[in-house]
Amino acid sequence: MRIPWRPAAYLLSGGLTGAAAFTVMLLLAASGTALAPVLVGLPLLAALALSGVPYAAVERRRLRLLDPEPVADPHRDPDRTGITAWARTRFAERATWQELGYAVLAATVLWPLELLAVGGAFAVPADLLATPLLLAADGEQANPLKLHAVTGYPAALACAVAGLLLLPALLYALGPVAGARAALARWLLTAGGTAELAARVTELTTSRARLAAAFDAERRRIERDLHDGAQQRLVALSLTLGLARLDAPDGSPIADRLAKAQAEAGQVLESLRELINGIHPQVLTDRGLPDALADAADRSPIPVRTRLDLPGRLPESAESAAYFVVCEALANAAKHSGASGVTVTGGHDGSRLTVEIRDDGRGGADAARGTGLTGLADRVAVVDGTLTLASPAGGPTLLRVEIPCTLRSLPLRSE
């Protein structure tokens, strides 16, 4: 016969921790109230208010005795280190007060019941079993369970047999009792948690979108600054050098130097152009995705065919996510796939943008290897999109991006 240790352990530990919680909370309440006038009491009362937090943490751990399904910690990480930041965060959380309520209930009502259940399950059969021994020790009578006097050995043996039969029955009865107690704990500790969780997910999602938008805006600002500043100055420099070359006699050392300087300025301009284009391509802002992708295709070392059929302009975040994914995919195809050609197709069905990048290379692209694809997936995830990759060994490789978005009310300027 297997003894149901876990329910017994659960109820016993529950009784003990409940008793401990009762003691601690009583001490905090008493000393805090007494010392409140001299201010020392205030932190004690604050600690009392927060006492549900550690208690609930222990409770969540204890639940694992019966059920391996973990209960999520409902608390947020404080945004700053230090005890005051922690306390401030905890005070602002609904879960803290919920846990305090649960702790008060456990420390006042539940723990005596738990100890009673465990104690009863062991003590009652033990008392009955001991009846013959007690009778022998006493010689006169024994009082099993203090209910009535037993004076004869047949009756005492009957009691012992009853005890023997009752022991497993009561022990197994602990199972449902413990189960009910655990269900109560789980319910009280997680009630309303899903709503809070949903709210936090929403909050996180919007803050992530805000970050991404801020990041895009920052890229555009940098692009603008470089364009209006460095780029124009370099063109002006090149122009000045060009004029100076007109004044230098042909074939003179100075003419050669000026020519060199101008070539150098031209190189810098070219690098700067590529840099700026990598930060934020102007064509994407001006003309939208199809033109920007055609432009990216132009710059690719392997032949790229693009065919995008979009009814209008999309939100900037969707456009730039799709654009950078295609650019990265084209770079990957050129570097690793050995493909002889890439096809980029795409469209919008009214609620989502879909872009597919297909190459006829050797395949075997793996999202787990290299950070490129992970970076792409992150970029797409920020705009709530998905990225799927099919790349069997031997090819072809197909990368598919889907981004939910509605049209901006801007017509596409077609060529």
Partner 1 sequence: MHPPLPPPPLRIVLAEDSVLLREGLVGLLARFGHETVAAVGDADALEAAVAEHGPDIVVTDVRMPPGHSDEGLRAALRMRENRPGLPVLVLSQYVQRSYAAELLDSGDGTAVGYLLKDRVGHVEDFLDAVIRVAAGGTVIDPEVVRHLLARRRDPLQRLTAREREVLALMAEGHSNAELSRRLSVTDAAVGKHIGNILMKLDLPPAQETHRRVLAVLTYLRR
Q: Does 315 bind partner 1 (CB under 8 A)?
A: no
Residues forming a β-bridge with 404? 352
Residues 128, 141: Cα–Cα separation, whole Å: 13
The amino acid that residue 415 corresponds to is E
Bridge partner residues of 163 (DSSP): none
Rg of the chain over CA atoms, in angstroms? 38
Sites for partner 1 among residues 195-224 (CB under 8 A): 224
Using the rule CB under 8 A, which residue among 60, 280, 287, 379 binds partner 1? Answer: 287
Q: Could you say which residues in the range 101-140 bind partner 1, by CB under 8 A? A: none
**143 near partner 1 (CB under 8 A):** no
| Site stretch for partner 1 (CB under 8 A), options 33-41, 194-202, 292-300, 309-317 | 292-300
Selected binder of partner 1 within 120, 242, 312, 392 (CB under 8 A):
242
Unique residue bearing structure tokens 């050129």: 334
Q: How many chain residues interact with partner 1 (CB under 8 A)?
A: 36
Q: Is 282 in the site for partner 1 (CB under 8 A)?
A: yes
Comparing CB distances to partner 1, the nearer of 13 and 285 is: 285
Report, in Å, the least distance between residue 291 CB and partner 1.
Answer: 5
Please, which residue, 125 or 361, has the CB nearer to partner 1?
361
d(CA 319, CA 313): 8
56-95 positions binding partner 1, by CB under 8 A: none
Task: Return d(Cα 274, Cα 291) in angstroms, integer.
Answer: 17
Site string for partner 1, 256-275 (x = CB under 8 A): ------x--xx--xx--x--
Contact segment (CB under 8 A) with partner 1 among 33-41, 132-140, 296-304, 397-405 equals 296-304
Chain-centre distance for alpha carbon 370: 23
Q: Are strands 342-348 and 352-359 parallel, antiparallel or unpaired?
A: antiparallel
User: Quick check: 232 binds partner 1 (CB under 8 A)?
Assistant: yes
- Tokens, residue 256: 């050669």
CA distances from 128 to 125, 154, 277 (A): 5, 13, 89
Residue 354 bridge partners (DSSP):
347, 402
Cβ(389)–Cβ(367) below 8 Å: yes
Instruction: Name the residues that contact partner 1, by CB under 8 A.
Output: 224, 227-228, 231-233, 235-236, 238-243, 245-246, 262, 265-266, 269-270, 273, 277, 282-283, 285-287, 291, 294-295, 297-298, 303, 413, 415
